[in-house]
Amino acid sequence: MNTSIGRRGFIAGVSALLVSACSKVAETDAAKSLFSAAPEWQRKIHRSLASRMALAKEYPRSAISPDFRGNGSRTVDTDAYRSALAAGFPDWKLEVTGMVSTPLSLGLDDIRKLPQRTQITRHDCVEGWSAIGEWTGPQLSAILDAAGVKDSARFVVFRCADTYAGRKYYESVDMVDARHPQTIVAHSLNGEPLPEKNGAPLRMRIERQLGYKHAKYLTGIEVVDTLENIGEGKGGYWEDRSGYQWYAGM
Ligand SMILES: Nc1nc2c(c(=O)[nH]1)N[C@H]1C(S)=C(S)[C@@H](COP(=O)(O)O)O[C@H]1N2
Ligand SMILES: [Mo]
């Protein structure tokens, strides 16, 4: 798979915006010093976007952890989940909704038919442990493109089947992380279907972000322009509960 999908287009778009804003400003004398400073802001924006699109380190097979710990919810505590797990999740659906032109309802076969990406990365939990695993699944950007994201959309919310300590788990990222080449909807760990404790049958991998962003037991992807009305409004389970930072980039 191409590892830099969208990066050039995105940066070019931002630059074009700045250039057109600058040429208007430059028409007034007062703004001349601002205009001469413009190339420096453009360089800064290029640098920060380029750094956010940079790839997380990938590892050789020999680095894979023998056991990838399960953390937080290690299952979904419902009869429906237990029987779906036993049957291999024939009816599991990933619903893609919100600010899209074509809402989607994808089964596991649909997910496996999309172009796949495999990556061996290190997961870092804020609780102070790490594990290396090989994850496989389609890039989230391919799913977003299939659904057709509206221009004014700003965030992608991940809905999960589990409740943890009595509340539904959820997470969210901005469009830069959503379209990052290593942001995938993973159905496999180390070449096998996801284990129950690691989020079977689907979970997010968002490799430039800390562990709590990687939503497990994924049932929905919701495209929104504000996080205000989601959960308690801070963009994620731990962000709402414990003041974890919404932007957990590494
Ligand atoms: N649905 C859901 N996703 C979740 C959690 C959870 O409790 N529920 N825990 C998060 C945290 S804090 C971490 S570190 C990782 C753990 O993933 P693992 O169980 O595969 O190690 O999942 C994240 N995603
Ligand atoms: Mo975590």
- E strands, the chain, are 94-98, 104-106, 117-125, 129-137, 155-164, 167-174, 183-186, 188-189, 192-193, 203-206, 218-224
Number of H helices, E strands in the chain: 7, 11
Question: What per-residue confidence (pLDDT) applies to 10?
Answer: 46
Cβ 73 under 6 angstroms from ligand 1: yes
Average pLDDT, the chain: 90
Question: What per-residue confidence (pLDDT) applies to 129?
Answer: 97
**Which residue's CA is the nearest one to ligand 1's atom 2?**
216
Which residues of the chain have a pLDDT value below 70?
1-38
In the numeric block, which tokens belong to residue 199?
A: 């989020």
The rounded distance, in Å, linking the Cα atoms of 94 and 108 is: 8
Question: What per-residue confidence (pLDDT) applies to 1?
Answer: 39
Cβ 159 under 6 angstroms from ligand 1: no
**Which residue's CA is the nearest one to ligand 1's atom 24?**
215
Please answer whether residues 104 and 190 qualify as being in contact, where contact means their C-beta atoms are separated by less than 8 angstroms.
no
Task: Kindly calculate the radius of gyration of the chain based on its CA atoms and give it in whole angstroms.
Answer: 20
Could you count the other beta carbons within 10 Å of the beta carbon of residue 111?
A: 20
The rounded distance, in Å, linking the Cα atoms of 178 and 184 is: 9
Which of 197, 212, 242, 244 should be mutated for ligand 1, with most atoms under 8 A from CB? 212
The rounded distance, in Å, linking the Cα atoms of 18 and 205 is: 32
Question: What per-residue confidence (pLDDT) applies to 37?
Answer: 66
Spacing, Cα 1 to ligand 2 middle (Å): 29
pLDDT by residue (tens digit) across 36-68? 666 788 888 888 999 999 999 999 999 999 999
pLDDT by residue (tens digit) across 12-43? 444 444 444 444 444 455 555 555 666 788 88
Question: What per-residue confidence (pLDDT) applies to 36?
Answer: 62
Which of 71, 160, 168 should be mutated for ligand 1, with most atoms under 8 A from CB? 71
Domains of the chain (ranges plus CATH)?
A: 3-242 (3.90.420.10)
Of 20, 19, 26, 23, residue with least CA distance to 46: 19
